[in-house]
A and B are shown apart, each in its own frame.
Chain A
Amino acid sequence: MEFLQAIGQYDFLQKALFTSVVVGIICGVIGSFIILRGMSLMGDAISHAVLPGVALSYAFGINFFLGAVATGVLTAIGIGYVSQNSRIKNDTAIGILFTSAFALGIIMITMLKSSTDLYHILFGNVLAVRPSDMWVTVGIGVIVIVTVYAFFKELLLTSFDPTIAAAYGLRNNLIHYLLMTLLTMVTVASLQTVGIVLVVAMLITPAATAYLLTDRLSVMIFLAASFGVISAIIGLYFSFTYNLASGATIVMVATGLFLLAFLFSKKHGVVWKSIRVRQKRAELSK
């Protein structure tokens, strides 16, 4: 109740809540494609790779969004280039490139700004969201949702069956880099809510939860977005009430939802599966 009152009272809390909800939605939407394409590690990589871009933006006094998208997309291209043109496997290429980008970012941030800023970038500080940040997040949200809606067929087909996509004349590479660009934008939007280190959790945990509950992609995307929103709201409540880092509480709620689905999903849940096995065996031993 106190939380509800505080929302009515404090402007900063309204902005925090609104921003977190938008982040929850777009992380769920993009996250669904990320986990289906087996690119969870790529999500982690991009989120870390935006750090040098953020630092550069500070240095040149431009919006941090521009620098972040630039280094994020550059890293995605770099990873693709290294794994396609050498015997280095994809996960290794990801490991090498994102850690080096991240390391470079840490050095640049410490040289330019105080360590407090680094802390906020790494772990999020949703209660300090400025109106301009909120609008950037909303703008990114609109772009992401419109793009995914417009290219839904193409995203589905290139994720499910790239060979047929190519036979239909679709450019798999183009869709891949489109998705990487959207992923980078989502990461940047999530910086203040959950921070660089935990963005990947918001991307993959709600989507993975949804994946356990349905056999249709469109339903999965809606569920993932809903779980993102629920995690954001409940997480923010705990963050505000007990004065905890918002990123951490939001991610813990998302993990809690995942555990519930993992145990109790009707089709794929561990509990129901073992009950079905037991029932069958009991039936046969009669």
Chain B
Amino acid sequence: MNSAVSVRELHVSYFGVEVVQGVSFAVEQGSMVGIIGPNGAGKSTMIKAMLGLIGKDKGDVLFYGKEVSEVRKKIAYVPQRSQIDWTFPITVMDTVLIGTYPSVGLFKFPKKKEKLWAMECLRKVGLEDFAKRQIGELSGGQQQRVFLARALAQKPELLLLDEPFVGIDVASEETIIHILKELQLQDKTIVVVHHDLSKANAYFDQLLLLNKELIKFGAVDEVLNREVMSKAYAHQLQFLEKAEVTA
């Protein structure tokens, strides 16, 4: 039985500074996992290295027992909503249509079938009325929903989302969570980099606490307790104690 994701002894560094140190874990198919940890804990870096977007120094990453290059079509990635050009001449509909590119293949163009499917995905995130808008004209929450629709258009088995709820409205956050839970019911696997600890227990089955090395991976209540959390946030705690001494 292959796990949806299995990571073994993963090491990643930026110019010799190690950001991810010997992380190993396995995610079972159909589970919804939150990756949490303090700023600079290497959460985004780990996701990028798993997808082969940045180089790894050591370790194995397998998706459904295969290398990432063999299963890219099945994996949808929603990066942090940041480094794209919001004035690019592209409509919401054409952005979602990008999700069909991997299955359409080289030298071919999306046809009616793909366009209908993209529209369907746009309807799922509640933005069918915005299909012809330019992407930059939408609010942050709507943009994030468009990128989720693009991920859906890919018909993935596994979704990796990096901080999807940062800077978006409550309604969009609820829509996104609702869709993710629905996908989970269809036995899809979902991994979300997340920073808001208060909602972590409502959203996820399992949590992976990271602070350069893996602190704890397990059911939500095994991770969300003082003893475990203090290991990851130790630096912040030390800082607070020092501040109290000097005060």
Interface residues in chain A, defined as those with a beta carbon under 8 Å from any beta carbon in chain B: 36, 38, 150, 152-154, 156-157, 159-161, 163-164, 166-169, 211, 214-217, 219-220
Contacts and interface: CB of A to CB of B under 8 A. Distances in A.
Contacts of B75: 167
Nearest to A268: B87
Contacts of A168: 72, 101-102
21 contacts: A36-B89, A38-B85, A153-B101, A153-B104, A153-B109, A154-B106, A156-B98, A160-B95, A163-B77, A163-B79, A163-B84, A164-B98, A166-B53, A167-B51, A167-B53, A211-B89, A215-B134, A216-B89, A216-B90, A216-B94, A219-B89
A157 B89 contact: no
Q: By CB atoms of chain B within 10 A, which of A167, A214, A219 has the most?
A: A167
Contacts of B172: none
Contacts of B84: 160-161, 163
B72 A169 contact: yes
A36 B89 CA distance: 9
B107 interface: yes
Interface residues of B, number: 25
B6 interface: no
A164 B79 contact: yes
B88 A159 contact: yes
B121 to A, nearest CB: 15
A38 B85 CA distance: 10
B225 interface: no
Contact of A217 (B51, B72, B89, B106): B89
Closest CB pairs A-B (n = 4): A215-B134, A167-B77, A169-B72, A163-B79
A215 B101 CA distance: 20
A164 B77 contact: yes
B91 interface: yes
Contacts of B186: none
Interface string B94-119: 11001001101011010000000000
Contacts of B134: 215
B69 A157 contact: no
Given A159-B88, A169-B69, 13 more contacts: A38-B85, A153-B104, A153-B109, A156-B90, A160-B90, A163-B83, A167-B53, A167-B72, A167-B75, A168-B72, A169-B72, A215-B134, A217-B94
A29 to B, nearest CB: 14
Contacts of A217: 88-90, 94
Nearest to A152: B109
A160 B85 contact: yes
Contact of A215 (B91, B98, B106): B91
Contacts of A163: 53, 77, 79, 83-84
Nearest to B102: A168
A220 B53 contact: no
A150 B109 CA distance: 9
A161 B135 CA distance: 12
A221 to B, nearest CB: 10
A55 to B, nearest CB: 38
Nearest to B75: A167
Contact of B89 (A161, A167, A220): A220
